[in-house]
Amino acid sequence: MATIKDVAKVAGVSTATVSYVLNNSFPVSETTRQRVLEAARKLGYRPSIIARNLRANESRLIGYAWHGTVDSETNPVLDQFIHHLASNAEQHGYHILTFTHTPENALKVYTDLIETGHVDAFVIAETNVNDVRIDFLRDIDFPFVAFGRANPGWNFPYVDVDGKKGVYEATKHLVTLGHQRIAFIGWPEGSMAGDNRYAGYCTALQDAGLSFNPDLVKRGEHRTATGNRAAHALLGMPTGVRPTAIAAVSDLMAIGAMSAIEQLGMRAGRDVAVVGFDNVPLTEHLQPPLTSLRQPIDQVARKLIEMLIAVLKNEPLAERQVLIAPELIVRASSGAPR
C-alpha cells in the first residue's frame, strides 16, 4: 500500500506538502497541487480518514526546539525565553511542546510533528542565514514566528534584539571612559547574531575615530574557557598594544575573560574594563559586578506570541519584523583606563 512518503517522492516534494494538498489545509501553488494529485492517483494512494480528522482538529500546542548545550554550560538567555514563551502562550490557551533535533535531522522532526498534527505552529530560535527550518516552513506556508533573523530577502514574522546597536552602545561607553585600545571577543564568523554584534563594535570604533586592529579581535565557541583563553592572549600583548578594555559577545565569554584577568594578577574594572552581553542573573553578583547589555526577553516572548496568535487567526500583523534595542547596565567592571 502506498504511503504519503511514496507520494512525496514521486511528486518531488516534502511529505508535509503532500499532506497540505490532500487535506486542503494550507495554500500551495497550483502546479505543485496538480503534481501531488497526479502522483497520488498514479500510486493509488488513499489517505486515512481517521488521520485526516485528527489533523483537522487544533492541538493547541506550539512547537519549540529546545536549544543544545556545550558540556555542562547552559544558555541562561534561552532558559529565560522558554519560561516567558510558555507563560504568554498559556494566557492565550496554548501550551509549548518542546523537542530536540540534530542539525542533520531538523526537517524530519518538523515534518513528523506537522503530519501527525501534534502542533498548530512553531516558534523558531537560534536562527541563522539560510536557516533550513525557516526556508521549509515558508515553503509550505505553515504558521511560525522566529526569535531572530535570517536572509534579508526572506519575509517572515520575527522579533529580534538589535545586537549591533547594543554592542555599539557598549563600545561607545568604553570610548567615553577614555579607552582607545578596545578588544572584542566574539563567536566564529558566520553566526548571524555574533556578526551583528561584531559590526556594532567596528562601527563604534570608526565613529570614534579609533583605528581598527585585527589583532585585538579573538573568536571562538560560546564557552567561558574561550573567553579565558582569548583574554590571556590579548593581555599577553606588548605594552602600548595590549587592550585596556574588552567587549565580549556574551556574558559567558566576559566571565571567562574576567577569570583570566584575575589569574594574571589584575582586576577587572581597575586594570582592564570588561563589558558583556545578556545581563544574566549571575552578572550582578560577580566581583566586580559585570557591565552588560540586558536583552528584554520577556518583551520578546510576549510580542512573538501575540504575532503568532494573529498568524493562526489569519489576522493582519501590525508589525511583521521587530527589532528591540537592548539596555546597557553599567556596573563596576567597566572603569576608566589607569
Position 54 scores a pLDDT of 45
> H or E segment at 159?
strand 158-161
The DSSP call for residue 103 is T
Does residue 312 form part of some domain? no
Query: Residue 146 corresponds to which amino acid?
Result: A
Rounded Cα distance, 180 and 14, in Å: 54
The DSSP call for residue 212 is P
Question: Helix crossing, 15-23 with 49-56: angle to 10°?
Answer: 90
What's the predicted TM-score (pTM) here?
0.81
Which among 57, 80, 96 is the end of a domain?
57
What is the arithmetic mean of pLDDT over 159-181? 98
pLDDT at 51 over 60: no
Does residue 316 form part of some domain? no
pLDDT at 70 over 70: no
Residue-wise pLDDT tens digits, 212-247 = 999 999 999 999 999 999 999 999 999 999 999 999
DSSP 242-294: S-SEEEESSHHHHHHHHHHHHHTT--BTTTBEEE-SB--GGGGGSSSPPBEEE
Would you state the cell numbers that stand for residue 133, as one nine-digit string? 527550518
Position 49 scores a pLDDT of 46
Residues 6+ apart with CB under 8 A from 306: 88
Rounded Cα distance, 81 and 235, in Å: 35
Q: Which of 43-52, 177-186, 315-324 has the lowest mean pLDDT?
A: 43-52
Which of 51-60, 128-137, 286-295 shows the highest mean pLDDT?
286-295
Does residue 236 form part of some domain? yes
**Strands of 61-65's sheet in order across:** 95-99, 61-65, 121-125, 144-147, 158-161, 321-324
Position 110 scores a pLDDT of 93
Position 53 scores a pLDDT of 44
Position 50 scores a pLDDT of 42
- CB neighbours of residue 303 within 10 Å: 20
Which CATH number characterizes residue 13's domain?
A: 1.10.260.40
Which among 18, 34, 57 is the end of a domain?
57
Does residue 195 form part of some domain? yes
Rounded Cα distance, 93 and 45, in Å: 36
Domain that includes residue 41, residue range:
1-57
Report the domain count for the chain.
2
Which CATH number characterizes residue 203's domain?
A: 3.40.50.2300
pLDDT band at 102 (very low <50, low <70, confident <90, very high): confident
Question: Are the CB atoms for 161 and 295 separated by under 8 Å?
Answer: yes
- CB neighbours of residue 256 within 10 Å: 24
Position 58 scores a pLDDT of 78
Does residue 80 form part of some domain? no
Q: How many CA atoms within 13 Å lie on the side-chain side of 306? A: 13
Rounded Cα distance, 176 and 101, in Å: 45
Position 1 scores a pLDDT of 63
> H or E segment at 61?
strand 61-65
Position 55 scores a pLDDT of 47
Does residue 317 form part of some domain? no
pLDDT band at 101 (very low <50, low <70, confident <90, very high): confident
Question: Are the CB atoms for 22 and 40 separated by under 8 Å?
Answer: yes
Question: Are the CB atoms for 143 and 163 separated by under 8 Å?
Answer: no
Position 18 scores a pLDDT of 83
Position 24 scores a pLDDT of 66
Does residue 173 form part of some domain? yes
pLDDT band at 2 (very low <50, low <70, confident <90, very high): confident
Question: Are the CB atoms for 121 and 74 separated by under 8 Å?
Answer: no
Would you state the cell numbers that stand for residue 110, as one nine-digit string? 518538523
What is the arithmetic mean of pLDDT over 89-96? 96
pLDDT at 26 over 70: no
What is the arithmetic mean of pLDDT over 36-44? 87
Does residue 137 form part of some domain? no
Q: Who wins on pLDDT, 42 or 3?
A: 42
pLDDT at 301 over 50: yes
Rounded Cα distance, 85 and 99, in Å: 15
Q: Which of 169-183, 250-264, 305-319 has the lowest mean pLDDT?
A: 305-319
Q: What percent of the chain has pLDDT over 70?
A: 93
Mean of the per-residue pLDDT values of the chain: 91
Position 48 scores a pLDDT of 54
